[in-house]
Amino acid sequence: MQVWVSIRFLTECIFCPNTFIFAILCTRLTLKLRNLCCTETHPRRDTSDFKTARIIGSSKGIVSCVGRFIKSCASLYNASCAETPLLYTGQAGQLSSQACVHVKMADEAVCVGPAPTSQSYLNMDAIMIAIQQTGAQAAAGGVTFIGPDTYAIQAMGDKIESKLIAKTAKVNTIPGFDGVVKDAEEAVKIAAEIGYPVMIKASAGGGGKGMRISWNEEETREGFRFSSQEAASSFGDDRLLIEKFIDNPRHIEIQVLADKHGNALWLNERECSIQRRNQKVVEEAPSTFLDPDTRRKMGEQAVLLAKAVKYSSAGTVEFLVDSKKNFYFLEMNTRLQVEHPITECITGLDLVHQMIRIAKGYKLQHKQSDIGINGWAIESRVYAEDPYKSFGLPSIGRLSQYQEPLSFADVRVDSGIQEGSDVSIYYDPIISKLVTYGSTRAEALKKMENALDNYVIRGVAHNIPLLRAIIVHPRFVSGDINTKFLQEVYPDGFKGHVLTAGGRYDLLATAAALYVAAQLRSQKFLGNLRVSSVPPETRCWELLVELEKGVYMLSVTHSGQNYTFKLRVLSKLAASLSKHMPEKIPEDTSSILRSPMPGSVVAVSVKPGDWTKHICAKHIKLLKELLTAKFQMSQRCRAAEQTASARCLAAENADIK
């Protein structure tokens, strides 16, 4: 007789942090799935405790976590009859993730609503109906939640309450106001008492959303308004708190693991200081900054906090660390973090496996003395973003070409997309988590450099140029980093790789050589040379190459390095004729307010015919402070000094693509 156990599994979310969205997986657990990278660092898993199971996975958006979950389940269960269903979102009856890997892995799929999360993954009625439709509610023994209990989730999900609990548990906390800030005027008063600069934060926030740094009264008022709006939109909770802003800190977090029997471990740290807009970009484990004593103190305080809320499962306690190695509690994430693979690599533990064991009621298999640091691991978050715009503004479109660098040793790619997948405006534009492992930091960095060089993404903009520039930068290599690294290294924004004189010549020669090779290939048909008017032995390739507004005449030579630039190669004849081609006149955008990225218009303050002395506020889903365009559309004519009217082309609730 088979016993079915129905389990709900919670994983990390990039799209909507600190909200619980159920993306239910569907796969046969006996699928021959690719093993996790760095498997040589993973101990043999004891699967004797696991028989047939019906596991319903829960992801708050990032589909790479879905595949990650399936892989761990496949290594634990041997029953061929174990299946689970998948929830997806769609719009107008269309599947929003048609080309996603996790959808193709599914045996069954249930649509829970349109793409916006408020109408689908956050609609608990639709989720429960779907669970009943898939038969999960008929499982013997009820439903067991893989993750902490509701008290721990609620207590740590509220930044105000979590800070009070941390103080009681004697965990170092950042000085600040521990209550709810009522309005902008109270925010100004509190900020003055704390002393500028201050950080305005959403109580229910996460993932960098609802956070603003304020250096004066004006910024405090504006920050309060924007943070409360973003918090309400992202989390359904507009409560804010204010605390002292620690300038130029490091962001270091401790992975904890606790069971239902009062046992808890800390699994070392992760360095997450490379950020843009308070969102992590590159992480590594361990940190170059911590000494054993500071690491132990941070780990012990993280465990104290976990025990204070009777935490059971995997969780992360985040700290800010100043230049003197003083550390302060920031928040606790009651879920599996995006960056958890680097902890798995250096400890040899499968965290998903441990979460399932804990949910089934087993005690931890390890003691604190068993947890060491074996090697070094680095994770780069590969986004569909344009890194040349504010270090990364989202890009949408279809992946016309996609190839992961899996041919290299000790490289792991957690992704949920493939060629043909669409990147939409509704979710965070993460493509994958690229992880490399080495016995030393230098080895892990070199493997990351090679992996990034061999990652092929076409069809959307991506941040690989920025990721590569970070990991080879002398400051990063030396470990001299903080949360302002990108702003300090690139004060005028990221411009890409700067060519040296020698590199320029190499690039020009390589482009010319590739052009000649393409021309020679075009002369062949079924392996035979076509009839050519110019004998091969008398051919002389004289080319003109345009690069960065420069024009170069050269003959073909070849050498070069692996960087990406836009070039235009013309034959001598084509170059001589190109001057007769009409030039495209740039569009006059002086009277146009154009969105810098796709998103949704939430409010329009004018209608056709109005005198446009209003300020048009256009909210793009991500980063309101960056993407809220304030445009004074009143101008004076020199002669008549009359106010001109403007035409608004965007309607309220319209999507901008």
| Residues annotated as part of the active site | 335
Q: How many whole angstroms separate alpha carbon 200 and alpha carbon 223? A: 7
Q: How many whole angstroms separate alpha carbon 184 and alpha carbon 195? A: 16
Radius of gyration of the chain, Cα coordinates, nearest whole angstrom? 27
Q: Rounded to 5 degrees, what angle do the CA atoms 74, 76, 79 make? A: 70
Q: How many whole angstroms separate alpha carbon 399 and alpha carbon 420? A: 5
Helix/strand/coil for 52 = coil
Q: Kindly state the DSSP code that residue 460 receives in the 8-state scheme.
A: S
For residue 351, the number of C-alpha atoms closer than 13 Å in the C-beta half-sphere is: 32
Return the structure tokens found at 219: 């910024």
Return the structure tokens found at 299: 């780990």
> What is the amino acid identity at position 220?
T
> What is the amino acid identity at position 551?
V
Return the structure tokens found at 284: 């590594």
Residue with tokens 């048609």: 98
Return the structure tokens found at 199: 């950080």
Query: Do residues 203 and 237 lie in contact, with contact meaning Cβ atoms separated by under 8 Å?
Result: yes
Closest CA to 295 of 373, 407, 201, 358: 373
Return the structure tokens found at 598: 């796709």
Task: Determine how many CB atoms are found less than 10 A away from the CB of residue 407.
Answer: 9
Q: How many whole angstroms separate alpha carbon 267 and alpha carbon 344? A: 9
> What is the amino acid identity at position 145?
F
Q: Which stretch of DSSP H or E encloses residue 164?
A: helix 159-168
Q: Which stretch of DSSP H or E encloses residue 422?
A: strand 422-423
Q: How many whole angstroms separate alpha carbon 235 and alpha carbon 632? A: 31
Return the structure tokens found at 361: 């009621």
Q: How many whole angstroms separate alpha carbon 618 and alpha carbon 615? A: 10
Q: How many whole angstroms separate alpha carbon 263 and alpha carbon 489? A: 43
Q: Name, in order, each residue with C-beta under 8 angstroms of 422's C-beta and a sequence gap of 6 or more.
A: 96, 97, 98, 99, 396, 397, 398, 399
Q: Name, in order, each residue with C-beta under 8 angstroms of 333's C-beta and a sequence gap of 6 or more.
A: 12, 17, 18, 156, 206, 315, 316, 318
Q: How many whole angstroms separate alpha carbon 142 and alpha carbon 14? A: 29
CA-to-CA dists, residue 349 to 44, 148, 558, angstroms: 10, 19, 47
For residue 584, the number of C-alpha atoms closer than 13 Å in the C-beta half-sphere is: 2
